């Protein structure tokens, strides 16, 4: 019997420490090298879209919190923009500022956490992850003070935000935001030039520009491959054109670039936050139309129409597609989940690499199973 | 009867005990005492190593670590042990039950055997073998068998992958490990652990160019041999669930842990013996230590007041009783060993792990040539040992070869430019 | 590039700093070295120490009453039941007498039974937003764990009823806003002599 070329089929998941939830990779190994890899999704399917078609537009907001549970505020924001387009609602200026502040804080939360998780996937004993969580907690405290909940915020509404932030909140936020670059410096000192991390991450899972565009990858993953596409710049939704920030781009498109892009994006987010916290005007946090809608969700009956609202969520393009038939519930409610679309190239990235690389490639894609499976 | 001196605190009672027996039985009795002492101390060392590791790593991560069981979580190891004991012992279907049960035992036995040649203090050694150094390498490499046996017998894909990694790693790292210790034999002129420690009376080996390099190589390959981060390939929890011990539970799992921690301790202890002067240390008066210790205890907020008072008083009394004596050799040895354990934990708290091929690359492409060149450097140093030339030559050769080796196999050069341009 | 291993050593420096920051003497040492040192231990040891939550912290809803428990604000209009996204509110009512006419207490209809299944509730606060009578509010009581699913995790009307003073205590800002709004809505007592037109 010859054992040469005998392949080993390993099922990584659905219960595996590093699949970020109930996700499964059926890998075929030649020694330790991956020859074939099939992602299996759907273990966390929760009928999100179907539920959304059965309840009012406002009623979907708490469910969007649970899509990508790391960035509830951004998810709310995306749906709010779609509903505003559908119903012709405009947001109050303070509301827009608050939404941008929340969305950028969410980006900080998400990117620190995902960097921590990526390092955990590389085998660090939780240290970067816990540093990330230490800082994340501070921002979650801010979310709690504003919305009443740390993760399931349900805060952003069409027309603005549900409640104005409490007194002192902006001052606390400013303190935390101003401290954030120091934390990032420390974090980078721990990680960026670490030779082990470079060895592990550089040239691993290279995503070419062409493949990234063809597979409609979005978010930091696309920009790490060097494609200049940021919906904040492209669409200029909300008040983003008012702020000055840069879109960092990677050159290689490997795991290391995807890590480093996130660090650079956080620095840009801090810049946006500082501007927003400085310029935020007084006034109502929500426009009258939005407030009326929040008070009585069933009175909101948009005319027969369709709308697609999208934002640059921390993970990529988060889009909500709504079709109205004139009733209080949407006729069709669809979510374009960035995690799900970004995950489709997993096999292309992994083939030819080792098992250990597959894990960190998955980690660098930054998925949340709540969003992948919906 | 007067109190024994600190130096012979443990030896005296052992001798008294031995002398209770007739002349002819005494050699056997002293062997029995040594075995008994090691068998009693080893599990204790292992249990508190887990506690120390958890505490230290927790502190590096802004956490408390175990605090719930006992003061400062001091009873946590006992609770863990108890938990392990009462857990269900599962062998997977289709596993080779005999080998599955034997593997953890085979892993623990050599780990305990290693303690036989460890000179804990000036008179504290179980067996002063004249091949102590070889004994260490011979015994510690048995763990490769245990790992493969455990991984294979589990009949699990993750286990077998972990086991294959483990074998490859342990065997590869043995080579630079042994070669780095060759210089110790060359300079000390003996393989006995006691002899090696005594050869460092003038200067610890770590304080020479070749000793420094050899010490680092020895420590790194030791870390790799006991499968700890950043070289914990066989376990690799984020990839292989738990590697070769994925399918173990209950007491068998605890045995794997025990083997790992004991070997880690042994590696630190042998690194101290070979390079850090073993049990030798400067003659600091003992009372200084007790004063420092009592200050630490007196300010420990979590202890209750009576405990603090009693412990402080006891420590100060001990300082008074042995006021004329320096810190004993066994304390130096333990202090140095635990300092290295701290480094081990520190590495684990900081780094992600390497990849399998990179790990092998490090062993064969970097550590092995360095260890070989180091032998030459040590020879040169010995040849001109009384003059500046030996120091200079060996240091220069080592620095040069370090640079050449880095240049030869540094894979990440092109990223320097990319990184700096990104700002 | 300094030398290979510099990044590794710098990383070890970061962890060692954090290690020192968790000890008082370590912070003293760091300050002695002119390094910034903040309290490193951020853990809150939960059952012994409890986190101080923000005032807006919300958990499960409760029903507000003014004065006595039978004077509850809820009129059993069932808007919250209808709007609750996970459908965790069950209302029976409004209470009716034998003839089938709505019963009234303090001039208002009231629910016979009001149940919230807190194992389904997702604390979204939409019921509070939609309630026209400010009758339902969010509690901040979170220690409700129980070993059985149906007994203690389905809160009935008695368990849900809490006085306005309680609401004032846990959320002073929000409660006074609600009180002001209700006071504005309440019909002014008719003066005995109508004021003369100027």
* Segment A99-145, tens digit of pLDDT: 999 999 999 999 998 888 888 888 877 888 888 888 888 899 899 98
Residues of A in contact with B354 (CB under 8 A): 196, 199-200
How many angstroms away from the CA of B399 is the closest CA of chain A? 19
Q: Are A333 and A322 in contact (CB under 8 A)?
A: yes
What residues have CB less than 8 Å from B170, skipping those under 6 apart?
A: B141, B143, B144, B147, B224, B225, B227
Which strands, in side-by-side order, build the sheet including C161-163? C136-138, C61-65, C161-163
Q: What is the DSSP letter of B285?
A: B
Task: Return the structure tokens found at B229.
Answer: 């981060």
Question: How do residues B105-161 score in pLDDT, each as one tens digit?
Answer: 888 888 888 888 888 877 777 777 788 888 888 888 888 888 888 888 888 888 888
**Residues A108 and A266: beta-carbon distance below 8 Å:** yes
Mean pLDDT of A176-201: 84
- Residue the block writes with tokens 């590697």: B243
CB distance B232–A124 less than 8 Å? Answer: no
**Chain segment C119-140, per-residue pLDDT in tens:** 888 888 888 888 888 888 888 8
Q: What is the pLDDT of residue B420?
A: 43
Task: Tell me how far apart the alpha carbons of residues A266 and B98 are, in angstroms, rounded to a whole number.
Answer: 55
pLDDT band at A52 (very low <50, low <70, confident <90, very high): confident
Nearest residue on chain C to A126, alpha-carbon basis: C15
DSSP for residue C65: E
Give the count of alpha carbons within 13 A of B418, CB side only: 21
pLDDT of residue A106: 92
**Alpha-carbon span A108 to A270, nearest angstrom:** 8
Nearest to A266 by CA among A373, A107, A42, A66: A107
The CATH 3.30.70.3270 domain(s) of chain C lie at 61-185
Query: Which residue is it, tokens 């220690």?
Result: C143
Do B189 and B199 meet the contact criterion of CB atoms below 8 Å apart? yes
Does C58 contact A149 at a Cβ distance shorter than 8 Å?
Answer: yes
Determine whether the interchain pair B356/A123 forms a contact, defined as Cβ–Cβ distance below 8 Å. Answer: no
Greatest Cα pair distance in chain B: 81
User: Using CA atoms, how far apart are residues B111 and B108, in angstroms rounded to an integer?
Assistant: 5
Distance separating alpha carbons of residues A93 and C119, to the nearest angstrom = 38
End-to-end, the C-alpha distance of chain B in Å comes to: 74
- Beta carbons of C22 and B406 less than 8 Å apart: no
d(CA B234, CA A7): 20
Helices (H), B351-387: 356-361, 368-383
Instruction: Tell me which residue of B123, B138, B139, B140 sits closest to B34, measured CA to CA.
Output: B123
Cα torsion A84, A85, A90, A93: sign: positive
- Quick one: residue C154, left, alpha or beta (phi over 0 = left, psi -120 to 50 = alpha)? beta
Rounded to whole angstroms, the Cα distance separating A356 from B241 reads 11
Task: Specify the DSSP class assigned to residue B301.
Answer: T
Q: Using CB atoms, which residue from B157, B158, B239 is nearest to A356?
A: B239
Residue whose token pair is 């420990």: B300
Coil/strand/helix, residue C83: helix
Relative to beta strand C154-155, strand C113-117 is antiparallel
Angstrom distance (rounded) from CA B172 to CA B144? 11
**Torsion angle (degrees, nearest 10) of CA B232, B238, B239, B242:** 60
Cβ B146 vs Cβ B256: under 8 Å: no
Per-residue pLDDT at C29 exceeds 70: yes
Half-sphere exposure of B81 (CA within 13 A, CB side): 13
The burial of C136, by beta-carbon neighbours within 10 Å (0-12 exposed, 13-18 middle, 19 or more buried), is given as: buried
Tell me the two tokens of residue B170: 């342990």
**Which residue numbers of B have CB closer than 8 Å to A's CBs?**
57, 60-63, 157-158, 161, 165, 229-230, 232, 236-241, 348-358, 411-412, 415, 418-419, 422
- Pairwise CA distance, residues C149 & B131, whole Å: 67
Give the separation between CA A73 and CA A81, rounded to whole angstroms: 12
CA distance A136 to A71: 12
**Packing angle of the helix pair C6-21, A169-191 (nearest 10 deg):** 140
Contacts C11 to B, Cβ<8 Å: 350-351
**HSE-up of A353 (CA within 13 Å, CB side)?**
25
Could you say which of C8, C57, C130 has the minimum Cβ distance to residue A297? C130
CATH number of C61-185: 3.30.70.3270
* Contact check, Cβ <8 Å, C19/B56: yes
pLDDT band at C98 (very low <50, low <70, confident <90, very high): confident
> Distance between CA atoms of A37 and A354, rounded to whole angstroms?
11
Distance CA C121, CA A277 (A): 34
What mean pLDDT is predicted for residues A256-281? 89
- Can the peptide bond before residue C94 be classed as cis, meaning omega within 30 degrees of 0? yes
Q: Within the 286-305 window of chain A, which residues sit less than 8 Å (CB to CB) from chain C?
A: 294-298
> What number of CA atoms fall less than 13 Å from residue A152's CA on the CB side?
17
Cα-based angle C163, C166, C170 (whole degrees, multiple of 5):
150
pLDDT in tens, C175-193: 888 888 888 877 666 656 6
Q: Is A190 on the interface with C (CB under 8 A)?
A: yes
Q: Could you tell me whether strands A160-161 and A305-313 are parallel, antiparallel, or unpaired per DSSP bridges?
A: unpaired
Which chains contact C through at least 3 pairs of Cβ atoms less than 8 Å apart? Answer: A, B
Q: Is A76 on the interface with C (CB under 8 A)?
A: no
Neighbours of chain A (3+ CB pairs under 8 A): B, C
- Please name the chains neighbouring B, where neighbouring means 3+ C-beta pairs under 8 angstroms: A, C
| Cα separation, B115 vs B122, whole angstroms | 15
Count of Cβ atoms closer than 10 Å to residue C7 Cβ: 21
Nearest CA to CA, how far is C139 from chain A (Å)? Answer: 11
Verify whether the Cβ–Cβ distance B350 to C15 is below 8 Å: yes
Contact B174, B168 (CB under 8 A): no
Interface test with A, best of C3, C7, C12, C40 (most A CBs within 10 A): C7
DSSP notation for A332-360 = EEEEE-HHHHHHTTHHHHHTTSBHHHHHH
Q: Whole-angstrom Cα distance, residue A227 to residue A221? A: 9
CB-based burial label for C172 (10 Å; 0-12, 13-18, 19+): exposed
Q: How far apart are CA A281 and CA A264, in angstroms?
A: 28
Asked if pLDDT for residue A175 goes beyond 60, the answer is yes
- The contacts of residue B42 (CB under 8 Å, 6+ apart) are B111, B112, B115, B262
For residue B263, give both structure tokens.
């070997």
Residue of chain C with shortest Cα separation from B58: C19
Better-predicted residue by pLDDT, A367 or C7: A367
- Listed as ranges, residues in chain B with pLDDT below 50 are 1, 412-423
Separation of alpha carbons A198 and A122, rounded Å = 11
Q: Which residues does chain A have within 8 Å of residue B230's beta carbon, measured at their own beta carbons?
A: 123, 196
Provide the sign of the torsion angle of the four alpha carbons A127, A131, A134, A136, taken in this order: negative
From C10, C54, C83, residue closest to A189, measured CB to CB: C10
Residue A67: C-alpha distances to residues A99, A220, A361, A368, B143 (Å): 18, 19, 22, 8, 47
Is B304 strand, coil or helix?
A: coil
């Amino acid at each position: 019997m010859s054992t040469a070329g005998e392949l080993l089929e390993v099922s990584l998941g659905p219960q595996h420490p590093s699949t970020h939830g109930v996700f499964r990779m059926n890998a075929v190994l030649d020694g330790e090298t991956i020859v074939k890899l099939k992602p299996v999704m759907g273990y966390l399917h929760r009928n999100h879209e179907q539920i959304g078609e059965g309840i009012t537009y406002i009623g979907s907001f708490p469910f969007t919190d649970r899509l990508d549970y790391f960035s509830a505020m951004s998810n709310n924001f995306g749906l709010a923009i779609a509903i505003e387009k559908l119903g012709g609602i405009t947001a109050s200026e303070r509301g827009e500022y608050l939404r941008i502040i929340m969305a950028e804080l969410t980006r900080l939360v998400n990117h620190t956490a995902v960097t921590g998780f990526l390092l955990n996937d590389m085998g660090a004993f939780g240290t970067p992850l816990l540093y990330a969580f230490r800082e994340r907690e501070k921002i979650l405290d801010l979310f709690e003070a504003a919305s009443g909940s740390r993760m399931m915020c349900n805060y952003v509404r069409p027309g603005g935000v549900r409640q104005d932030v409490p007194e002192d909140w902006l001052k606390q936020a400013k303190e935390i935001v101003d401290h954030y670059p120091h934390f990032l410096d420390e974090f980078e000192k721990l990680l960026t030039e670490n030779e082990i991390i470079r060895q592990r991450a550089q040239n691993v899972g290279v995503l070419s520009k062409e493949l990234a565009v063809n597979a409609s990858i979005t978010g930091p993953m696309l920009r790490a491959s060097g494609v200049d596409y940021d919906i904040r710049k492209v669409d200029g939704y909300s008040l983003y054109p008012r702020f000055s920030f840069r879109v960092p781009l990677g050159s290689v498109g490997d795991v290391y670039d995807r890590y480093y892009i996130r660090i650079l994006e956080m620095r840009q987010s801090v810049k946006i936050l500082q501007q927003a916290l400085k310029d935020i005007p007084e006034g109502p946090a929500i426009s009258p139309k939005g407030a009326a809608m929040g008070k009585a969700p069933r009175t909101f009956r948009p005319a027969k129409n369709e709308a697609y609202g999208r934002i640059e969520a921390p993970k990529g393009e988060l889009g909500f597609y709504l079709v109205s038939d004139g009733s209080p519930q949407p006729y069709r409610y669809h979510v374009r989940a960035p995690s799900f679309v970004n995950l489709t190239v997993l096999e292309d990235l992994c083939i030819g690499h080792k098992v250990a690389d597959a894990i960190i490639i998955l980690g660098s894609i930054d998925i949340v199973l709540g969003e992948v499976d919906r | 009867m007067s109190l024994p001196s600190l130096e012979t605190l443990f030896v005296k009672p052992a001798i008294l005990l031995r002398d209770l027996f007739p002349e002819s039985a005494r050699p056997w009795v002293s062997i029995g005492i040594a075995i008994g002492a090691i068998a009693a101390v080893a599990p204790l060392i292992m249990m508190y190593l887990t506690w120390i590791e958890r505490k230290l790593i927790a502190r590096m991560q802004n956490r408390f670590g175990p605090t719930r069981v006992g003061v400062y979580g001091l009873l946590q190891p006992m609770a863990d042990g108890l938990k392990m004991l009462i857990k269900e012992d599962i062998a997977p279907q289709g596993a080779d039950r005999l080998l599955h049960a034997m593997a953890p035992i085979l892993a623990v036995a050599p780990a305990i055997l290693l303690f036989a040649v460890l000179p804990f203090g000036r008179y504290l050694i179980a067996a002063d073998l004249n091949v102590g150094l070889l004994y260490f390498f011979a015994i510690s490499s048995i763990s490769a068998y245990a790992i493969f046996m455990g991984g294979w017998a589990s009949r699990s894909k993750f286990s077998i992958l972990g086991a294959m990694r483990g074998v490859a790693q342990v065997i590869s790292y043995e080579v630079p490990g042994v070669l780095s210790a060759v210089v110790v034999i060359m300079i000390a002129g003996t393989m006995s652990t006691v002899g090696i420690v005594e050869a460092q009376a003038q200067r610890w080996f770590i304080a020479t160019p070749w000793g420094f390099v050899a010490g680092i190589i020895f420590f790194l390959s030791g870390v790799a041999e006991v499968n700890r981060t950043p070289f914990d390939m066989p376990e690799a929890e984020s990839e292989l669930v738990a590697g070769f011990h994925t399918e173990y539970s209950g007491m068998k799992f605890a045995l794997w842990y025990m083997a790992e921690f004991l070997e880690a301790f042994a590696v630190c202890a042998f690194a101290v013996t070979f390079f850090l002067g073993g049990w030798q240390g400067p003659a600091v008066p003992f009372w200084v230590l007790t004063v420092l210790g009592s200050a630490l205890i007196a300010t420990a907020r979590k202890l209750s007041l009576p405990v603090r008072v009693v412990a402080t008083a006891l420590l100060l009394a001990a300082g008074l009783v042995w006021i004329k004596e320096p810190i004993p050799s066994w304390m130096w040895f333990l202090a140095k060993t635990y300092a290295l354990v701290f480094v081990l934990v520190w590495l684990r708290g900081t780094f992600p792990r390497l990849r399998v091929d990179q790990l092998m690359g490090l062993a064969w492409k970097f550590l092995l040539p360095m260890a070989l060149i180091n032998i030459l450097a040590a020879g040169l140093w010995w040849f001109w040992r009384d003059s500046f030339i030996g120091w200079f030559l060996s240091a220069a050769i080592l620095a040069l070869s370090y640079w050449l080796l880095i240049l030869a196999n540094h894979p990440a050069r092109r990223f320097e430019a990319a990184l700096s341009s990104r700002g | 590039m300094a030398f290979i291993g510099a990044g590794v050593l710098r990383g070890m420096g970061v962890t060692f700093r954090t290690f020192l920051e968790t000890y008082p003497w370590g912070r003293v040492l760091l300050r002695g070295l002119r390094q910034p040192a903040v309290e490193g231990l951020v853990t809150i040891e939960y059952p012994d120490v409890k986190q101080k939550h923000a005032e807006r912290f919300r958990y499960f809803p409760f029903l507000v009453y003014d004065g006595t428990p039978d004077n509850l604000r809820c009129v059993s209009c069932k808007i919250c039941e209808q709007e609750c996204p996970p459908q965790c509110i069950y209302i029976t009512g409004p209470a009716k007498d034998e003839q089938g006419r709505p019963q009234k207490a303090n001039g208002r209809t009231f629910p016979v039974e009001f149940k919230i299944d807190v194992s389904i509730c997702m604390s979204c606060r939409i019921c509070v937003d939609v309630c026209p009578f400010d009758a339902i509010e969010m509690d901040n009581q979170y220690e409700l764990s129980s070993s059985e699913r149906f007994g203690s995790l389905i809160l009935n009307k008695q368990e849900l009823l809490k006085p306005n003073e309680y609401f004032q205590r846990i959320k002073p800002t929000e409660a006074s806003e609600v009180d002001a709004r209700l006071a504005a809505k309440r019909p002014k007592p008719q003066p005995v002599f109508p004021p003369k037109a100027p």
